Structures are given as C-alpha cells and as structure tokens.
Amino acid sequence: MLELKRALDAKGHCLLEMPSGTGKTTTLLSLIVAYMKAHPLDLTKLVYCSRTVPEIEKVMEELRKLMNYYEKEMGMEQNILGLALSSRKNLCIHPSVSKEREGKVVDGRCYSLTASFVRARHAADDAVPICEFYEGFDAHGKEFPLPPGVYNLDDLKEYGQMKRWCPYFLARHTITHANIVVYSYHYLLDPKIAEVVSKEISKTSVVVFDEAHNIDNVCIDSMSVKITKRLLDKCSNSITILETTISNMKENDSKRLEKEYKRLVEGLRDATIARETDMALVNPVLPSEILEEAVPGTIRTAEHFVAFLKRVVEYIKTRLRVQHVVQESPAGFLRDIHTKVCIDRKPLRFSAERLASLIRTLEISDLTDFSPLVTVSHFATLVSTYTKGFTIIIEPFEDRAPTVSNPILYFSCLDSSIAIKPVFNRFQTVVITSGTLSPLDMYPKILDFHPVIMTSFTMTLARPCILPMIVSKGNDQVAMSSRYETREDTAVIRNYGNLLVEVAAAVPDGIVCFFTSYLYLETIVSSWYDQGIIDQLQRHKLLFIETQDAAETSLALINYIKACDNGRGAVLLSVARGKVSEGIDFDHHLGRAVLMFGIPYVYTQSRILRARLEYLRDQFQIKENDFLTFDAMRHAAQCLGRCMRGKTDYGIMILADKRFSRADKRSKLPKWIQEHLKDTNCNLSTEECVQICKRWLRQMAQPFSREDQLGISLLTLEQLQSEEMQKKIQQRAQGI
C-alpha cells in the first residue's frame, strides 16, 4: 500500500508482485478509492482490467464490500459510481438476441437492430425490427446518469430490465463519468476495441492490470494477424457482395456515395482535432500521419476501392502459394506488392478506415460476414504503417503434417510495447500486478516503460503453508529432466511415473500435474500405460487428462472436482500454458499438491518465436536464453500458484526437473515461493520428497483457526496501532 501510494504521488507507473490470496484486489481498491476521495482533482478515475468474467465479478464483490464499509463508517451515502463492463453477449437483455451463444453472433445481431440507418429505416417503416431497449436508452438514458453505487453485470441487467434500457449501451455511456470501471484487458489493449470503448477515459486515471503476467502476449496477440486460405476465400465472397451492393446502390441512391466521397476528401479531420485536444486515446492502428492527410484518390470511389481490395486479396493468395517457408519484413512485403500488383503504400494504409466507412455507407447490417475482410484490411494498414517490430511469415504447411498443404500467413507483432504504449503515455499511473511477475526487471524491458516502483511482496504466514521442493532424481538416482535429449528415455519417464504414484499415495484429495506440452503429455501417458504405472495410480486416485478440446476438458474438470469432493481423490494431468494452468483455481482440497514435470519452455522451433527472440536481442539487448528462461519460469510459477489461494489454504509444490535447482532458474521464481524453498529441499530424490510431504501434511492438518493467525498474519486494530508493530512495518518498508 505504501509503495502504491508512492507511485500515485509520483504519477508514475508501477509493477507489483503480490501472492494470490493476500488481498491484492482489496488493497488496490481501498487505497485508490481513498486517494480519489482525498485528492479528487488529481485522480478522477480507476480503470481496473482483469482477465475473465468471473474475475471481474470478484473485483466487483470486493468493491461492494469496500463501499458498504465506507457507508457504515462514514454514515452516509458514498458518491462513487463503480461498474463492470463486458461484451454484449454477457449484458444483452433482448429476449431473442440474448439467447445466442456466440459472442460474434450477438454483436452482429445487436448491430443489425441498433445501427443508425436501421433505426432511420424503422422510423419510415414499422416492419423493420429494432431493439426496444436501445430505443429506451437512447430516448431517456443519456440524460439521467446512473445513481451512485456499485453495479456488477447482473445489477446492470436488472437495472436495464427495470428501466427498459439496454444495459450494454448504458454501461458504455456511463464509463465516461463513472469513478471506477472494471473490464477486460482487451477494452484497453486491443486497438480495435479500445477505439470504440475506452477512447474518452480521462487522462488523470489510474489503470490497473490484474493477473498481468501474460500482458506482453496479450499485447502481441492484439496486434498480430493470421491469414489462412479459407479466410481469403471468404474475403472474395464478401467482396462480391460489396460489388453487388454498390451497383445496386448506384442505381437507387447514388447521392449517398457522392456524399461519402466528399467526406473522404475532407479527410479524417475530425479525428485530428480530437487528438489535438487530447480527447482520445491514441490508436496505434491509426497512426497520426494519416490523420493529416485525405484519403488518397485511388480508393476514394467505392468501386475503385473494392477493386483495390480484390487486388490485395488476390495478391495475398498468390503469396500463399509457396512451397517453402518465407519470412520477410514489412518493407520487403511492400516492395513486392508494389512491383507485382502496383499497389502503393499509401492506399494500403487507409484500407481499414476506408472499409469501415464503406460498410457504414452501404448500410450493411450483418457485420459478421465481413469479419474476414476486416481482418485483411487491418493487416494491410498495419503492414504499411509499421516497418519495425513486425514480421511476416508464410508457412505452406504445419510442422507436424508436412504433407498436408495448409498455407498460413502470419503477420506477427514482435514488440509488445507497441500496443501498450498509448496506455502508458496517456494515463498518469498504470499498475501492473499479479501473483507471479518474477523476475520483475524483465517487464519494463519488454513493455518499454519506466516504472517508478517495482516491488515483490511476500506473505506473512502463521504457518509454512506452502512446501516447494525440487525433485531432481528418482529412487534409482537417475536424474529427472524434460531435456530434449533425455525426453524419450524410459528411465526418466518411469521415474516421473513413480514420483507421481508415490505422491498420490501420500497426498489426500486433489493433485494437479503440469506437463510441458500436449505432445509430451501424450507420449508420457502412453508409456506409463505400458509400464503399468497408470494401474498403480488408479489404485489411489482417479485420473483425468486435459485435452485440447475445451468441452472435453471442462467435463474432465467437473468430474475431477466431484472426485475430490467425495473423497475418492483425483489426479489431473494438464499442460502448462493450457486452459487449466491459466484460469482455474485449485483451492483447498482441489489442489493439495502441484507437480511440474519438466520446465515449460515454449516450442523453440516456432518461427514466430525465433523472430521475436531475434528482435528482442537486437532492440532490447535481451539474450534469447534469458527470455526463454523467463518465459518458462513465469509459466511454471503460474502453474504452482494454482494451488495456493489464501492464507488458510496449503499446498505442496513439486518441481520435478534437475534444471530447476540451478541458480538462474531458482532465482526467477516469485519471492514468496523462494522464501519457502529451503536449500535442503532443492535436490531431493523421490523418496525423500515423499517423506517430507507426509510429515508436512500432518502438521498442516492440525486444527488452525482465526485466533492462531491473529498477531502474525492477521492484525486487529489495536495490534496494528501498537508501537511494536509500527516499528516492524517501518523496518519492512525500508527493507524492501
């Protein structure tokens, strides 16, 4: 809290690592809210970005508790408005649209009911359907702001139902004046969405990225484009639709096209004005240079533009017809497109803007069909805008199936700082926090910013409730490792199996195992099956396996939880970087032990990764190996952190690989894990590990209540105010 206050005072960015379950969210919320109350001019808004909808809901719950406390203590209504925002899919209350399952379909149908031209048409002809909730909101909602309070998604829906206003648009509208906004990363990082949603958030805001250990990947994903052959085929279809619509319109209503043409001549002046007055967040897809210019003549008329698009798509199609892997820079690509099909850089740059404008003019209400075309236009804009930090890779086939032709064009962003830069530049304080951010110094480098505060916190605990261990060898003294050379070695696989069987016999309820990849998981499980290890395992616990299929995995998870609940016990085999390792908490009995088989390095043969490593080396002076280790260790830490969700929880963490005990790996674990990782537990054999587990589990099973924590990890008000404790806190603050 102290550190956070310093960062707020300095109006700088900060990077905080706090173990999960230590009240990270509450701390952030309470301090920032208090700061907002104390300095209402310096700090007007809190934007809290989280990863998933359940996480957003959790944050809202915390906020509600905080507000209730304020009300109780201060005795009056608080003038603070907090709300959560999610996609239309989660907020829609339209009777038929909300039944749709897929987010894209909901978006499309919503657009077809609420777009301005549809509504205009409705005014003329009652038969055209519109959304009554949006109408209600449009008629009345804008004048009456939401009363102060805390609204989560359900509250918004309820409020919407009551007033007959559309909750989605209500929330979007309210963002501009709400004090606290909670939503997903993408609303801020993905340029396409940020443009629409987060544009008008004021400069004096605090932005918090929670669970941000993967933030660089999110940034990169939001800027990267992947084009497959199927996508291009769909593009061709939509271009034909465009053509027919244009010719239709020409016959019926040529005025509108003319109007558009004129507007384009004037250029994107409005946007320029907006940016100059510092109204909006800079959109990286829309670089400032093009704002000052008018849309080039070659693509101003609709037919010309469509023809232009056609050429681009055809050109990409020819590029995909390659027999070997091609990698080139955006500049090379531009040169090539210029020589082959005579397309300049400039019109390419405008293609995204131009397409959006065209779709608006043509009054196409079903946007879902056009998403492939939009993707291609984004690609065109990006490739012509950025010459640095991106690369183009064309692969004619997948590495795993070299005979099947499946050409893919990757336009891959190598620099994670591009997407997040506007956020850092615009907002006065950006807080990046997670349970596992170690090593901290890597993040400022790859995100290219200068934090004023960078701290890793540990937990104060009344008992040693995590037990990290590094198991390096089996009972037969054969070293365990997932190194490429020893990967197929049956002795290593057998040792891994024995480790799991023995741990399963000693640890109650749920055990979660993480492997480095799906491929490795499959080979290991099949050879365990041959060696009879699976049979042994099933004597103790039931076995569940995560697969690449999301439905199958969630079914496995449900049954895993069931098995843990009724005492049979279960083992879940899953993959680091998979769905299980990222979003799912195994608290209390669901995860008494986590085993990490091998170090989860990324697939180093991937060309995208290689390109990125090269870029990092050239631009930021980060050695390839450093980055790979960093990436592997943060995923390992993320997996390990799954089992620990609070101070009353306890869990064993077993790192089964010889290489973990090396200093360069060990020092990259989060501080709160390192603190408990004693030197004596760094080079254990299977049997030693099991002995330690058993003893530790018995200690942990002793009754443990709230009073036991008092004074150590939980302080009463008197204790907090006591002189001794104050001194301790001071010391600790200086120690950091």
Partner 1 sequence: MADEDETKEYRWESGYEKTWEAIKEDDDGLLESNVADLVARAKRKRAALKDTGAIQLGMMRHLFVVVDASACMFLQDLKPTRFLCVLKLLEVFVHEFFDLNPISQLGILTTKMKRSEQITVLAGNQKKHIEALQQLKDLSCEGEPSLQNSLERAMNGLKNMPAYSSREILVLFGSLTTCDPGDIQKTIKSLKDNNIRVSIIGLAAEVRICQEIAKKTGGTYNVLIDDHHLKELILNQVQPPAVAGSMEASLVKMGFPGGSPIVNDGTSDSSADHAPAYCLCHIESETSSLMGPNGYNCPQCGSRYCELPVECKQCGLTLVSAPHLARSYHHLFPIKPFIERAQVRETTHCFACAKLFVEAETNVIIIVNFRLCLFYHSLPFLFLLKVYECENCNQIVCLDCDLFIRETLHTCPGCASDPVTAQMKTN
Per CB under 8 A, residues contacting partner 1 are: 462-464, 505-509, 539-541, 564-569, 588-589, 592, 678, 687-688, 691, 694-695, 697-704, 708
Q: Beta-carbon neighbour count of residue 193 at 10 Å?
A: 17
**Bridge-partner residues for 208, per DSSP?**
48, 431
Shortest distance (Å) from residue 436 CB to partner 1: 23
Q: Which lies closer to partner 1 via its Cβ, residue 304 or residue 562?
A: 562
CA pair distance 337, 312, nearest whole angstrom:
8
Rounded-to-5 percentages of helix, strand, coil across the chain: 55, 15, 30
Q: Which lies closer to partner 1 via its Cβ, residue 105 or residue 505?
A: 505
Shortest distance (Å) from residue 470 CB to partner 1: 17
CA pair distance 736, 731, nearest whole angstrom:
9
Q: Which lies closer to partner 1 via its Cβ, residue 47 or residue 677?
A: 677
Q: Which lies closer to partner 1 via its Cβ, residue 229 or residue 589?
A: 589
Shortest distance (Å) from residue 695 CB to partner 1: 7
Shortest distance (Å) from residue 527 CB to partner 1: 25
Shortest distance (Å) from residue 561 CB to partner 1: 11
Shortest distance (Å) from residue 172 CB to partner 1: 44
Instruction: Specify whether the CB–CB gap between 626 and 581 falls below 8 A.
Output: no
Shortest distance (Å) from residue 589 CB to partner 1: 4
Q: Alpha helices, DSSP H only, in 541-652?
A: 550-565, 579-583, 607-620, 624-641
Shortest distance (Å) from residue 644 CB to partner 1: 16
Three-class secondary structure of residue 295 per DSSP: coil
Q: Which lies closer to partner 1 via its Cβ, residue 415 or residue 649?
A: 649
Q: Which lies closer to partner 1 via its Cβ, residue 312 or residue 693?
A: 693
Q: Which lies closer to partner 1 via its Cβ, residue 343 or residue 507?
A: 507
Shortest distance (Å) from residue 715 CB to partner 1: 17
- What DSSP line would sit under 347-368, residue for residue? HHHHHHHHHHHHHHHHT---GG
DSSP secondary structure code for residue 96 in this structure: T
Q: For residues 338-353, b (16+ Cβ closer than 10 Å) or e, as one string?
A: eeeeebebebbbbbbb
CA pair distance 444, 677, nearest whole angstrom:
27
DSSP secondary structure code for residue 655 in this structure: E
In Å, how far from its chain's centre is CA 435? 15
Q: Which lies closer to partner 1 via its Cβ, residue 420 or residue 480?
A: 480
Shortest distance (Å) from residue 359 CB to partner 1: 55
Strand order in the sheet with 390-397: 225-228, 405-413, 390-397, 326-328
**H or E, element range at 543:** strand 542-545
Q: Which lies closer to partner 1 via its Cβ, residue 541 or residue 634?
A: 541
Q: Which lies closer to partner 1 via its Cβ, residue 142 or residue 678?
A: 678
CA pair distance 644, 585, nearest whole angstrom:
8
Q: Beta-carbon neighbour count of residue 468 at 10 Å?
A: 23
Shortest distance (Å) from residue 677 CB to partner 1: 12
Q: For the purposes of burial, counting CB atoms within 10 Å of the CB of 507, is it exposed (0-12), middle (13-18) or buried (19 or more)?
A: buried
| Three-state secondary structure of 3-50 | HHHHHHHHCCEEEEECCCCCCHHHHHHHHHHHHHHHCCCCCCEEEEEE
Q: Which lies closer to partner 1 via its Cβ, residue 491 or residue 701?
A: 701
Q: Which lies closer to partner 1 via its Cβ, residue 40 or residue 711?
A: 711
CA pair distance 716, 511, nearest whole angstrom:
35
Selection from 438, 474, 467 nearest residue 678 by Cα:
467
DSSP secondary structure code for residue 137 in this structure: I
Instruction: Specify whether the CB–CB gap between 317 and 220 falls below 8 A.
Output: no
Shortest distance (Å) from residue 463 CB to partner 1: 6
Q: Which lies closer to partner 1 via its Cβ, residue 339 or residue 566?
A: 566
Shortest distance (Å) from residue 724 CB to partner 1: 16
Selection from 470, 417, 419, 424 nearest residue 446 by Cα:
417
Q: Beta-strand (E) ranges in 65-174?
A: 81-84, 149-151
Shortest distance (Å) from residue 568 CB to partner 1: 6
Q: What's the N-to-C CA distance of the chain in angstroms?
A: 13
Q: Which lies closer to partner 1 via its Cβ, residue 407 or residue 569?
A: 569
